[in-house]
């Protein structure tokens, strides 16, 4: 995957995570997960796990050790 494609994928993942953070799925009628975990807490933990995965991928594949020469164009 090219560097620009990787950055595009990273942007899509981040936007998806932000949407899922602001607009969580409806909790339905199940107030508890695994017998002791409130749904809203379980959802936040699951979201964090997904965010951690995204961070690991970005650090490994998207964030370069050395930026391209002449960086600093318009954001």
Partner 1 sequence: MNLTTIGIVCGVYFAIVLVIGWLAARRTGAGAEEYFLGGRSARTVVLFMSLLGTNVTPFVLMGIPGLAYHQGVGVFGYNAAIVALGIPLTFWLIGDPAWRMARRLSAITPAELFARRLDSAAVGYVLFAAFTVYTLPYVVTSVLGVGLAVTTLTGDAVSMPVAAGGILVLTLVYTAAGGMRATMWTNVFQGSVFLVFLVLAFGIVLAHLGGPVAAFDAMQAKAPALLERGERPIFAPGAWASWGLTISLAVIAFPHMLVRIMAARDVGSLKNSCRLYPPALVLVWLPAVLLGVWGAVEIPGLVGKESDAIFLRMVGAHLSPLLQGVALASILAAVMSTIDAQFLTLSSMLGRDVVRRLRPTLDERSEVRLGRIFLVVLAAVTFAIVMARPASIFAIAKVSFSGYVMLVPTLWLGVTWRRFTAAGAIASVCLGSAALFAAMAWDHPPWGLLPVTWGLLAALAAAVVVSLRTAPAPRDVVARAFRDTIDA
CA gap 37, 25 in Å, rounded: 17
Q: Which two tokens stand for residue 18?
A: 């932000």
Nearest CA among 37, 4, 42, 44 for reference residue 22: 44
Q: How far is the CB of 68 from partner 1 (least distance, A)?
A: 7
Q: Which of residues 12-31 bind partner 1 (CB under 8 A)?
A: 14, 17-18, 21-24, 27, 31
**Which one, 9 or 58, has the nearer CB to partner 1?**
58
Q: Report whether 7 contacts 62 (CB < 8 A).
A: yes
Tell me if 44 contacts partner 1 by CB under 8 A.
Answer: yes
- For residue 1, the minimal CB distance to partner 1 (Å) is 18
């Amino acid at each position: 995957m090219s560097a620009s494609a990787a950055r595009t994928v990273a942007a899509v993942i981040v936007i998806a995570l932000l949407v899922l953070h602001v607009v969580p799925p409806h909790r339905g009628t199940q107030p508890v997960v695994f017998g002791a975990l409130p749904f809203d807490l379980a959802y936040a933990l699951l979201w964090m796990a997904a965010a951690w995965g995204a961070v690991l991928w970005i650090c490994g594949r998207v964030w370069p050790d050395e930026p391209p020469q002449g960086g600093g164009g318009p954001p």
